[in-house]
Amino acid sequence: MEKKIRKHFIFYGRVQGVGFRYRACYAAKKLGLSGFVSNQCNGTVEMEAQGSEEAIWKLVWTLDQTKPIQIEGIEEEEIPFKMGEKGFRTLN
């Protein structure tokens, strides 16, 4: 059985007003991930994704390949897994 993890991301670049949250939510659901995505006041996007590491990185790759999104930088860290979390949602 594949280990499940949770990652916290901050995305920099052209990530607001370009469909980032919609695309993240759509792709995360297709990949079977749970978590959330949210615009931040400083122009970044915050995301937490939970599931297999491979699926999480497929999500990030998908977002990076989606135009007009232009990811210029990513902060990433592994954080504690949240038991019982269901679904992926957009906040704000």
User: Which long-range CB contacts under 8 A does 51-54 form with residues at least 24 apart?
Assistant: 51/4, 51/5, 52/2, 52/3, 52/4, 52/5, 53/3, 53/5, 54/2
Does 89 participate in catalysis according to the annotation?
A: no
Catalytic-labelled residue, pool 14, 23, 39, 89: 39
Q: Which residue has the tokens 């949250």?
A: 21
Catalytic-labelled residue, pool 6, 21, 42, 89: 21
Does 39 participate in catalysis according to the annotation?
A: yes
Catalytic residues: 21, 39
